[in-house]
Structure 1
Amino acid sequence: MTSNDGTGSGAGARGPYAKGVQRRQEILDQTLDVVASRGIDGASLRAIGEAIGVSHAALRHYFSSREALLVEVLRERDAASNRALGDTAGVFTRLGVVADRNVSEPALVTLYTTLLGASVESGNETARSYFAERFATARSDLATQLRDELAASGRHTDADLDQVASLIIAAFDGLQVQWLLDRDVDIAGTLRLLERVL
């Protein structure tokens, strides 16, 4: 998923706009490092600003709140993950690649899981909106990919593929939570088992 805030429209632009886009990207790139070193609770806007050498006012110029900044970090990582996957074929192959990438960045998994939990509470509308949109898109994309894979293989199923997509997402996110608590949990391996079961 990508952001619709128009920041990408200035690619190749010069002057203050280009510098602003670059600075915003630097903030996003460095925020996850702050989360990794200080934890979510220690990653206030002020703490993030101090750690990366940006004033609180400058952070507020780019992001209206800590929640908005952290959600944007997740959006950026989603976009980077999608670019890295490219034309990787197969739903479960793609999920395995994403799982392996996520395992290499525990702070990203922690950030995702923490914001997901917070999104169900009132007052976290930015996170709620992000996750609602993300899940709707993921369900739709997964169901379409599953339909395409079945059609290409000549197989048929009576299962509701939208529900299967929901099940896959639930398994992936649940496995990530288990992995945060026990690093012996094999996310990609368990997803391969789910593929055989399905």
Structure 2
Amino acid sequence: MSSNVGSGVRGPYAKGIQRRQEILDRTLDVVATRGIDGTSLRAIGDAIGISHAALRHYFSSREALLVEVLRERDVLSGKTLTEVPGVVAGMTAVADRNVQEPALVTLYTTLLGASVEPGNEEARVFFTERFDSARADLAAQLRDELAASGRYSDADLEQVASLIIAAFDGLQVQWLLDRSIDIAGTLRLLERVL
């Protein structure tokens, strides 16, 4: 009897994890070159050299795949937010990274818009949970920052968090339309106003 304990993941399971990760990594490339409308599961499969059936083995639908790409990118953004001190400074760092990946911003914005329409339940659930979590996390960070600085605010910090998120997302949309928009600079202005 053989055991993989202590030796890392190997075999077919590891290959499946690796293939799934490759699909996630390459999907954003397909979005970048073909746009959102050109990212059917079949088109993604063709572009990355995997059959439609194999792609469906990992993701039940195009929406599920695209949501998972965003979910994975949120993990990276979460790491950035915890590494950079300050709520707005962390979001500014994420914005600086996002402008290096216009396809990511396009994917996020397009799926967010689609999530409010019937038939896009996976995206709706993803964004509803994402905003709930982001508001709670930002409010807690704001509370900690206020306490650490000895300041007090009677503002509802969940509402302040909503404003910060709205500013961030709105600035990304503006940037998609006009690349001269300075997301990070505008977020720093918001920090001074707050």
TM-score, structure 2 normalization: 0.95
- 5+ long unaligned stretches in structure 1: 1-10
Relative to structure 1, the CA distance from residue 85 to residue 163 in structure 2 (aligned partners, 3 Å threshold; closer, same or farther) is: closer
**Distance in 2 separating the partners of 1:134 and 1:170:** 13
Partner of 1:162: 158
- Matched residue of 2:37: which SS? coil
**Distance in 2 separating the partners of 1:81 and 1:196:** 23
Paired residues, what number? 188
1:90-169 to structure 2, matched below 5 A, reads: 90-169=86-165
- Matched residue of 1:41: which SS? helix
Say yes or no: does 1:88 pair with 2:90: no
**Distance in 2 separating the partners of 1:139 and 1:67:** 24
**Distance in 1 separating the partners of 2:165 and 2:81:** 17
By how many angstroms is 1:12 displaced? 2.6
**Distance in 2 separating the partners of 1:62 and 1:169:** 31
By how many angstroms is 1:161 displaced? 0.3
**Distance in 1 separating the partners of 2:76 and 2:69:** 11
Q: Which stretches of structure 1, 4 residues or longer, exceed 4 Å deviation after superposition?
A: none
- Matched residue of 2:38: which SS? coil
By how many angstroms is 1:177 displaced? 0.3
- 5+ long unaligned stretches in structure 2: 1-6
Q: Is the 8 A contact 1:12 1:18 kept in 2?
A: no
Q: Is the 8 A contact 2:84 2:90 kept in 1?
A: yes
1:182 pairs with one of 150, 172, 178: 178
1:40 pairs with one of 36, 40, 43: 36
By how many angstroms is 1:14 displaced? 1.1
**Distance in 2 separating the partners of 1:125 and 1:170:** 22
C-alpha deviations, 1:27-86, integer Å up to 9, x for none?
A: 000000000000000011000000000000000000000000000000111112223444
Bigger CA radius of gyration: 2
Partner of 2:50: 54
**Distance in 2 separating the partners of 1:12 and 1:41:** 39
Q: Is the 8 A contact 2:40 2:62 kept in 1?
A: yes
**Distance in 1 separating the partners of 2:56 and 2:104:** 22
Work out the percentage of aligned pairs sharing the same amino acid.
Answer: 80
Say yes or no: does 1:30 pair with 2:26: yes
The root-mean-square deviation of aligned C-alpha atoms, in Å, is: 1.1
TM-score, structure 1 normalization: 0.93
